[in-house]
Structure 1
Amino acid sequence: MNHQTQQQSLTPAPDRTLAPTSLRPLAERRTWPRSFADRLTAPLPGVKALARFAREGAVRPDRSCMEDVPQLPFEPGPLPRTDADTVAVTWVGHASWVLRIGGLTVLTDPVWSRKILGTPARVTPPGVAWNALPRIDAVVISHNHYDHLDAPTLKRLPRETPVFVPAGLGRWFRRRRFVRVTELDWWEAAELHGVRFDCVPAHHWSKRALTDTCRTLWGGWVLTDRNGQKVYFAGDTGYGHWFEQIGARHPDIDLALLPIGAYEPRWWLRDVHCDPEEAVRAMDDLGARRMAPMHWATFLLSAEPVLEPLHRVREAWRAADRSRADLWDLAVGASRVIQKPGG
C-alpha cells in the first residue's frame, strides 16, 4: 500500500513486554488516543523519498516475470478434521488463513475479494471457497490496509461473529453493525472459549482514507489454546526488535505465520515489509518451532519477481541450517496439522 507523505516524529512506545497481562473483557468499549503515530518504528516517507520513488520506483514485477504466474502454487483441498486439542492451518492466500485452534475456527485478515482498491486482481483465487467454510468462531485483523481489511468479505459474516482488532479499529466494525468487537492494545489479551488472543506489536502503520494516517493501531496476534499450543500471526510487519520481545513474552511458539513478500524496492519497503531472509531471521528472534510463509503469491503489490519470495525463503532456511520439515511453504489452499501433545 502507498505511504503517507508527511514525515512523523517518533516516540518509543512504553516497553511493557514482560509485564503481567490481565485479560480484558470481550467487546469492551474503550477510549483511544486520536493518533498512534508514536508507535511508528521508522518515519513514514517524506517528499524526497516520494520524489525518488517517482523517478525510479517500480510497483509491479517486470513483464517477463509475469510468465511465472501460472507456476504459483495453488492446491485447494478439503479442510482437515480437527478437535479441541488439534491445531491446523489452511492458507487461503495473502494474509488470510483458516486457523483451527482449541476447537475454534478463526479467520485471519480475511480477503476473499477478487480485487482490492489500488491493486490488480489477485493472481491466485482463494484457496478455500467461502461456502466450504465451517462456522466461523472468530476473526482477527492486523490493521486497516485494504489487502488485510476487506469490507466485501467481512460483510458475508454474521454480525454476531466475535472480532479481535487492534486499538481504535472497533469503530469501523461497529459502524457495520458488528456487535462483538474486542479492541486490544499491544501486550493486551482477551479469551474466547478457552483460547487466548494476545495483541502484539508490529513494525508497520495504518491508513485507509486521505486523513486517517495512524489513527488506528496495527499489530500481530498470538493465539494460545488450553494445552499451551501457540500460533503467531504476524500480519504485516518489517523486521526489527519486536520479534525478540514477542518471543520473550510468548516462548515456545509452535507455528509462526510470517510475511515474506511485497519487499521491493527495498529502500522503500524495508521498514514495513520483511523480505524472506528477514522472516527466517525473525524465527531465531521468536524462538518459534515452525514457519509458514504468507503475504505473497496472491496480490502483486511490489516489484520483486513473482516466484522469488519462495525461492529466497527456501534458500535462507537452508542457510540457517533449519529442518526442512519445519518450513511449511504451503501452496495456496493447502493445510498442515500440528498433532496434539503426545499424539
Structure 2
Amino acid sequence: MKKRYENLNGAVNEHGFRDMMKWMKERRGKIQDLSENIPIAGFRDVKNVANNRTKTSITWIGHSTFLIQMHGLNMITDPVWASRMGLQKRLTKPGYELSEMPEIDVVLISHGHYDHLDFPSIKRLKGNPAYYVPMGLKQLFIKKGYKKVYEVNWWDRVEVQRVNVSFVPAQHWTRRTLWDTNTSHWGGWIIENENGESIYFAGDTGYFDGFKKIGERFNIKAALMPIGAYEPEWFMKVSHINPEDAIKAFLELQTDSFIPMHYGAFRLADDTGPEALRRLLKEWERLELNQKKLKTLALGETCWLH
C-alpha cells in the first residue's frame, strides 16, 4: 500500500463531490471579466538572461514558473507552458517562449498537480537538467524516461555546484489520477548561495504556521509567494492562500522582498489575476508597508538581485 502524505499541522482538504457541485452552482451565478489580464513586460532582458553566468536573477515566466539564476546555474520552478489546463484555455501567454529559454541545469518541482508539473513542457526544456522532486514523485519521472531524479523530504538540503537547495513544508495536497491522492508530497524550495543570497519559492499553499518556522531557519532575501486561486474561500482556504494572508506570511518570513505568483495564467478558481493583484496592493497600502519591498513582475520581467 502506498504511503499517504499529510500537512504539517494535520490540515486536510475534506471537500467532496457535494461541495464541488455547490461551488459550480455558485460559479454559474458569477460573471467575471476575463478580458482583463495581467501585463506582459514591455522590455524583456532575454539576451542578458541567456548570457548570465555570474549574477543572481529571477525571471517570471508565468503562474508558478520562474527561471532562477545563481552561481552560473539555470534553475526553473514548476515548468508549465501548457496552453490549456483541463477545459480552460490559458489566459496569458508565458513571458518567454521555450525557444527563448537558456539550457536548464536544475528543475525544482513543488508537487504533482498538473498546473505545476507538465511533462510536455519538461520534455521541451533545453539542456540535460537534474530534477528535484518531493517524496513519492520519483517513480513517475523514471517511468517517463528521466534518470537524473532526486527525491527529497521536508527540510532536506542538497548542494548543487555551490548552491544549496532545501525543500520546505507547504500546506496543500496533490493528485494526478483518481487513485493517487497524496501519494506524493508537496512543498516549497529555498535556494541559497555562499554570499548570503536566498530565494524562497513557496510552491502552492494555504496559510499555515509553517511560515514562521521557515523564517526562523532561513535568512530569506526574496519570497516568491502565491496570491491567486483563493475564491470561494470556504472551498479553497486550506490549500490556497489569499493576497492578504500571503502578506501576513511574508511578514512572518521576515523577508526582504515579496514577488507575487500563481495568478493570471489559468482560471483555477473564481478570482481573476487583476483582482488578486488589486487586493494585494490594497492590503500593502493599508499596512503602510515599504513599497520598495513589493516587486510585482510583469510576465517575462527579470528581477536582478544584488
For the aligned pair, the TM-score class normalised by the smaller chain equals over 0.9
> What SS does the corresponding residue of 2:283 show, helix, strand or coil?
helix
Give the counterpart letter for 1:98 in structure 2. Answer: L
1:190 is paired with a residue whose SS is strand
Write the distance in 2 (CA, Å) between the matches of 1:40 and 1:151. 31
CA RMSD of aligned residues (A): 2.1
* Residue matched to 1:314: 281
Task: Name 2:76's counterpart in structure 1.
Answer: 107
- Are residues 89 and 39 of structure 1, via their aligned partners in 2, closer, same or farther at CA, if it must alter by over 3 Å? same
Structure 2: gaps spanning 5 or more residues: none
Q: Note the C-alpha offset of 1:131.
A: 1.0
Structure 1 letter corresponding to 2:290: S
Q: Are residues 1:296 and 2:255 paired?
A: no
Distance 1:51 1:261, change over 3 A: same
Q: Contact 1:65–1:306 at 8 Å: present in 2 too? A: no
Distance 1:53 1:157, change over 3 A: closer
| CA deviation string 1:227-267 (max 9, x = no partner) | 121000001000011100001111x2110000000000000
Deviation at 1:226, TM superposition (A): 2.0
Q: Which residue of 2 aligns with 1:86?
A: 55
For 2:36, what is the secondary structure of its paired residue?
A: helix
**What secondary structure sits across from 2:258 in the alignment?**
strand
* Letter in structure 1 aligned against 2:161: H
* Counterpart among 107, 111, 130 of residue 98 in structure 2: 130
Equivalent residues, number:
302
Judged with a 3 Å threshold, the aligned counterparts in structure 2 of structure 1 residues 59 and 301 are, in CA distance, closer, same or farther, namely farther
**CA distance in 1 between partners of 2:87 and 2:29 (Å):** 13
* Alpha-carbon offset, residue 138 of structure 1: 0.5
**Structure 2 Cα separation of the partners of residues 319 and 61 of structure 1:** 31
Distance apart, 1:306 and its partner CA? 4.0
For residues 326 and 61 of structure 1, the distance between their equivalents in structure 2, rounded to whole angstroms, comes to 38
| Alpha-carbon distance change, 119 to 95 in structure 1, aligned in 2, over 3 angstroms | farther
TM-score, scaled relative to structure 2: 0.92
2:265 and 2:221 mapped to 1: Cα distance? 25
SS in 1 for 2:251: helix
Amino acid at match of 1:302: A
Deviations 1:292-322, CA, capped at 9 Å, x for gaps? 0000010111111441111011111122222
- Aligned equivalents of 2:18, 2:150: Cα separation in 1: 40
Question: What is the rounded CA distance, in whole Å, between the counterparts of 1:236 and 1:287 in structure 2?
Answer: 19
**Offset of residue 41 of structure 1:** 3.3
Q: Does 1:36 align with 2:5?
A: yes
Percent identity over paired residues: 34
Change in CA separation of 1:119 and 1:259 when aligned onto 2, cut-off 3 Å: farther
Q: Name structure 1 gaps, 5 residues minimum.
A: 1-31
Within a 5 Å distance, the mapping from 1:39-118 to structure 2 comes to 41-47=10-16, 50-57=17-24, 58=26, 62-69=30-37, 72-75=38-41, 77-79=44-46, 80-81=48-49, 85-116=54-85, 118=86
The one-letter code sitting in structure 2 at the alignment partner of 1:321 is: E
Instruction: Evaluate the alpha carbon distance shift between residue 64 and residue 269 of structure 1 in structure 2; reply closer, same or farther with a 3 A threshold.
Output: closer
Tell me the equivalent position of 1:22. Answer: none
